[in-house]
């Protein structure tokens, strides 16, 4: 059998694999929360018939190797693992030998000998690559300096769930896409409402959260409009390691990505406006310099009105949030999807755990194809 199917960035997945994870997230959510499905709908009936999500983690443990703080990702992983019949073992930076007395290589081998998966939140992306290289079990990136794949999955699930806010999707999907979905054993199609192609503006720092959007949204038909201080050639733009993947996947083709330095220009025609902190974990020493560089990048009603966003624009943020990047009016206002987005971290991480960790020994060849 091939080695374990690690998930370090969505750039490594095909479009059908991404769709499968999303539809499976919706399915898991409906089995665990049948009260959320519209009463009498097919989803409701199916959810009530099948109350338990997959138990693929039964008698299994997932190590949460977190060297940085986390609320959502940690709680989603711990509670999600329980629903899948297993357990998550939180191993913080102060708890284990990694980084002080033991190398990532030896740590990966030892933990992989006792646990069936590793969910790792690291500093430099090379650390999670090193774990994956030596781990005998699947390694999933829970956030690194470059990527945050499980966040983008939650963002996409949230957008699909709120598809009605954006108007009707084209009904005709290609036959091959439909056939691909039918092949998916566990996720009935009606659970993931179709979403029309969106214009998504990202105003802020080019960091891990944006990077997984860059390699995913254009492949799913959505256009990205990004503004960072200094624009594409500037200090706060995507690093080469990320842009190389964007180009490899042709996400920059066909106007898939527009990139400038002016936030107002970025939000032009935007159906969704997204931002993230200006000071990611590990960048605290640059706080003052960053706050100065990002002046004018705060997401406000005024910015989006003057920039010509779609009047019905919606707001998203991975959280945790500071007022620097978005004011209270937007963050707590009727356009804000931030808390449903946070809730969806659970179902999407469960979907990844079930597919990549719980079932890979049964289903690994199919998944990695």
Rounded Cα distance between 181 and 184, Å, is 5
Does 207 interact with ligand NVA (rule: CB under 6 A)? yes
The residue from 115, 251, 304, 318 that is catalytic is 318
Does 314 interact with ligand NVA (rule: CB under 6 A)? no
**Residues in contact with ligand NVA, total (CB under 6 A)?**
9
Rounded Cα distance between 36 and 39, Å, is 8
Give catalytic status of residue 318 as yes or no: yes
Q: Of the listed pieces 50-58, 132-140, 246-254, 315-323, which binds ligand CP according to CB under 6 A?
A: 315-323
Does 281 interact with ligand NVA (rule: CB under 6 A)? yes
In terms of CB distance, is 86 or 149 closer to ligand CP? 149
Give residue number: closest CB to ligand NVA: 280
Among 28, 64, 318, 338, binds ligand CP (CB under 6 A): 318
Alpha carbon 177 to its chain's center: 22
What is 81-109 written as a DSSP string? HHHTT-EEEEEETTTSSBTTTB-HHHHHH
Q: At what angle do helices 42-49 and 15-32 cross, to 10 degrees?
A: 70
- Contacts of 98 by beta carbon, 8 Å cutoff, 6+ apart: 65, 67, 91, 104, 107
Rounded Cα distance between 77 and 66, Å, is 12
**b/e 132-144 (16+ beta carbons within 10 angstroms → b):** beebebbbbbbbb
Q: Of the listed pieces 201-209, 215-223, 295-303, 345-353, which binds ligand NVA according to CB under 6 A?
A: 201-209
Q: Of the listed pieces 30-38, 227-235, 312-320, 356-364, which binds ligand CP according to CB under 6 A?
A: 312-320
Tell me the torsion sign for CA atoms 307, 257, 212, 168: positive
Does 208 interact with ligand NVA (rule: CB under 6 A)? yes
Does 209 interact with ligand NVA (rule: CB under 6 A)? yes
Nearest to 8 by CA among 155, 103, 168, 120: 120
In terms of CB distance, is 54 or 208 closer to ligand NVA? 208
With beta carbons less than 8 A apart as the criterion, state whether 118 and 139 touch.
yes
Tell me the torsion sign for CA atoms 32, 35, 38, 44: positive
Q: Give least dist CB 207 to ligand NVA, A.
A: 4
Does 304 interact with ligand CP (rule: CB under 6 A)? no
**Count of helix runs (H) and strand runs (E) in the chain:** 15, 9
Question: What is the per-residue binding string for ligand CP in 40-79, x denoting contact by CB under 6 A?
Answer: ------------------------------xxxx------
Q: Give least dist CB 317 to ligand NVA, A.
A: 9
Rounded Cα distance between 87 and 358, Å, is 11
Nearest to 121 by CA among 55, 87, 72: 72
Q: Give least dist CB 151 to ligand CP, A.
A: 5
Phi, psi torsion values for 204, nearest 5 degrees: 150, -150
In terms of CB distance, is 41 or 71 closer to ligand NVA? 71
Q: Of the listed pieces 14-22, 193-201, 273-281, 300-308, which binds ligand NVA according to CB under 6 A?
A: 273-281
Among 91, 120, 139, 143, binds ligand CP (CB under 6 A): 143
Q: Which does 280 bind (CB under 5 to 8 A by kind): ligand CP, ligand NVA, none?
A: ligand NVA
In terms of CB distance, is 115 or 349 closer to ligand NVA? 349
Active site residues per annotation: 318
- For ligand CP, the binding residues (CB under 6 A) are 70-73, 143, 151, 318-320
- For ligand NVA, the binding residues (CB under 6 A) are 143, 207-209, 276-277, 280-281, 318
């Amino acid at each position: 059998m091939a080695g374990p199917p690690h998930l370090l960035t969505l750039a490594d997945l095909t479009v059908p694999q991404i769709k499968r994870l999303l539809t499976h997230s919706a399915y898991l959510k409906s089995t665990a929360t049948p009260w959320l499905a519209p009463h009498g709908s097919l989803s409701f009936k199916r959810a009530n018939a099948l109350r338990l999500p997959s138990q693929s983690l039964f008698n299994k443990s997932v190590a949460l190797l977190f060297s940085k703080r986390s609320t959502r990702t940690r709680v989603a992983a711990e509670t999600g693992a329980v629903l899948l019949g297993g357990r998550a073992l939180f191993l913080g930076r102060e708890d284990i030998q990694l980084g002080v007395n033991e190398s990532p290589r030896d740590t990966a081998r030892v933990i992989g000998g006792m646990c069936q998966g590793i969910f790792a939140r690291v500093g430099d992306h090379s650390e999670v690559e090193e774990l994956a290289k030596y781990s005998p079990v699947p390694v999933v990136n829970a956030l690194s300096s470059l990527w945050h794949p499980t966040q983008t999955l939650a963002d996409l699930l949230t957008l699909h769930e709120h598809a009605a806010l954006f108007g009707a999707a084209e009904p005709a999907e290609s036959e091959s896409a439909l056939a691909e979905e039918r092949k998916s054993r566990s996720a009935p199609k009606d659970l993931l409402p179709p979403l029309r192609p969106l214009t998504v503006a990202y105003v802020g720092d080019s960091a891990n959260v944006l990077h997984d959007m860059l390699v995913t949204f254009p492949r799913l038909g959505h256009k990205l409009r990004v503004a960072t201080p200094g624009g594409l050639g500037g200090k706060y733009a995507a690093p080469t390691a990320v842009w190389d993947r964007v180009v490899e996947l042709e996400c920059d083709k066909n106007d898939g990505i527009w990139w400038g330095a002016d936030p107002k220009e970025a939000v032009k025609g935007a159906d969704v406006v997204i931002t993230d902190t200006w000071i990611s974990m590990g960048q605290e020493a640059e706080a003052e310099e960053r706050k100065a560089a990002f002046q004018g990048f705060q997401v406000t009603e005024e910015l989006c009105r003057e920039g010509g966003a779609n009047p019905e624009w919606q707001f998203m943020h991975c959280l945790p949030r500071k007022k620097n990047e978005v004011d209270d009016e937007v963050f707590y206002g009727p356009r804000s999807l931030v808390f449903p987005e946070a809730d969806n971290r659970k179902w999407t991480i469960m979907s990844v755990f079930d597919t990549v960790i719980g079932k890979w020994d049964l289903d690994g060849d199919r998944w990695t194809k």
